Amino acid sequence: MLKNKNILISGASIAGPTLAYWLKRFGFNPTVVERSPVLREGGQPVDVRGEAVKIAKEMGIWPRLQREKTTLNEIAFLNEHRRVGKINLHALRTFFKLDQSWVEIMRGDLAKVLYALTRDEVEYRFGDSIQALEQDEEGVDVTFASGESRRFDLVVGADGLHSIVRTLAFGQEELFERYCGYYVGLFTTDNYLGLADSALWFYSVPGKQTVIRRLKDSQRMGVCFIFKQPGKLTYDYHDLAQQKRLLSSHYADVGWEIPTFLQKMQAASDFYFDVVSQIRIEKWSQGRVVLVGDAAHCAALLAGEGSKLAMMGGYILAGELKAALGNHHSAFSNYERVFRPLVTAEQAKVKSSANYLVPETARAIWEQNHLGPLILPFLMVPGGLWQEWFPKPSTLKNYADSPLPA
Ligand SMILES: Cc1cc2nc3c(=O)[nH]c(=O)nc-3n(C[C@H](O)[C@H](O)[C@H](O)COP(=O)(O)OP(=O)(O)OC[C@H]3O[C@@H](n4cnc5c(N)ncnc54)[C@H](O)[C@@H]3O)c2cc1C
């Protein structure tokens, strides 16, 4: 007999719906609460690779992800006047016969696929948020911002870097945040530069990177600003107009197309701005409350592995709850034992990718523009040759096939 079947998940992005899917499949009864009034779209392309591919296949969404994927064919490095370096990924893939066993997909499209898969079977409460949590031996009393109160057996924080569940059950964000020294701003706009088929362009000035790319819809392009900022900025997380002003002031002295981008950003409805920080927390559970995805272990926006880790975390957490027949003590500790080593390794990669992505001196920019085309395919290009040539053996337990314990 399964215990602790009624589970509240806070956050409907990647980790939350993945977890909800697997919990439902394993016989639990998940409810998802999402602060945004509708599913949040937006964000740049993210990768579903490695173990996350196996999970997506098992969920039956792999064909859909392949249909929705964005294929990057070219990376170019620009200076004020011209293109100074280029990587032809299409040619590389063809030459090395890479089968591309992963997908790159817009973050919002991935969230939509996961939501569509679960929305008929899982209760979603949009436009609400947990306001208070009180747990005892038997369950957790939850008060929502809407005023409603309900009791659940377990509560999961899948609510990202600024998780409310983590704040309520574990302590203030500052206790667990490792600031990486950068901020990121993203939005989409019309492809007025006429970017060709899936090209990614980098334009750097010291400490400020701008990355643009054409989206699947060829009429649109994504703009991503990443800038170095020695100390943390103070601003209201919910005030997008303030965040746009902040970003504009940081890029006010930058040339090329930046003034036009900043102007277009003012009208963008999908603008997203956030700090590049990691979350490091000694233990991912507190009694009946547990964290998953960025809420537990954000590896920082720059790492690009957040979605893969979020899908894996959701799958492993649900799988361990199934294996323990819902006993949260053993399930939560097994989830952590299985998954933490992988997360720790991903978090360690962030500093080197940040240094490379946002060069700080004219010399470092020169190196990025001219040596990048030689080095990048091996290090960071989606489906980097290295990973394709030397794939790691899978360590993921097959929770899906193992029969439900009697
Ligand atoms: C709009 C958006 C754009 C992004 N763009 C990129 C990108 O371009 N590149 C990249 O690498 N990563 C991006 N990310 C982060 C990326 O989605 C995560 O790193 C990764 O997928 C892990 O997902 P997650 O589900 O753990 O957390 P997140 O994707 O951060 O999702 C957390 C969810 O919880 C919700 N939430 C927050 N607070 C509350 C609350 N109090 N109550 C209820 N719900 C709450 C949020 O609205 C969100 O839907 C973006 C995230 C968002 C939300």
135 has a pLDDT exceeding 90: yes
Instruction: Indicate which residue's Cα is closest to atom 4 of ligand 1.
Output: 43
Comparing 394 with 233, the larger pLDDT belongs to 233
Give the separation between CA 105 and CA 158, rounded to whole angstroms: 20
Sorted by sequence, the CB contacts under 8 Å of residue 81 that are 6+ apart come out as: none
Q: Looking at residues 177-188, what average pLDDT do you find? A: 93
Identity of the amino acid at 403: P
Residues in the chain: 406
Token representation of residue 113:
């696929």
Q: Domain spanning 6-70+105-177+277-350: which CATH class is it, in words? A: alpha beta
* Mean pLDDT over each residue of the chain, to the nearest integer: 89
Give the separation between CA 100 and CA 391, rounded to whole angstroms: 12
Sorted by sequence, the CB contacts under 8 Å of residue 144 that are 6+ apart come out as: 33, 125, 128, 129, 130, 131, 150
Kindly report, residue by residue over 206-253, the tens digit of the pLDDT. 999 999 988 877 788 999 999 999 999 999 988 999 999 999 999 999
How many Å lie between the centroid of ligand 1 and the Cα of residue 112? 13
Comparing 92 with 171, the larger pLDDT belongs to 171
Answer whether 314 contacts ligand 1 (Cβ < 6 A). no
383 has a pLDDT exceeding 60: no
322 has a pLDDT exceeding 50: yes
406 has a pLDDT exceeding 50: no
Give the separation between CA 68 and CA 223, rounded to whole angstroms: 20
Token representation of residue 267:
């009208």
Instruction: Indicate which residue's Cα is closest to atom 29 of ligand 1.
Output: 13
Answer whether 159 contacts ligand 1 (Cβ < 6 A). yes
Kindly report, residue by residue over 95-114, the tens digit of the pLDDT. 776 666 778 888 999 999 99
Whole-number CA gyration radius for the chain: 21
Span of 27-31, 80-84, 203-207, 325-329 with lowest mean pLDDT:
80-84
Q: What percent of the chain has pLDDT over 90?
A: 63
Kindly report, residue by residue over 33-67, the tens digit of the pLDDT. 999 999 998 778 888 988 899 999 999 999 999 99
**Residue ranges per structural domain of the chain:** 6-70+105-177+277-350
| Contact call for residues 145 and 128 (beta carbons, < 8 A) | yes
Residue 23: burial class (beta carbons within 10 Å; 0-12, 13-18, 19+): buried
**Edge-to-edge order in the sheet of strand 149-152:** 130-135, 140-144, 149-152
Identity of the amino acid at 231: G
Answer whether 115 contacts ligand 1 (Cβ < 6 A). no
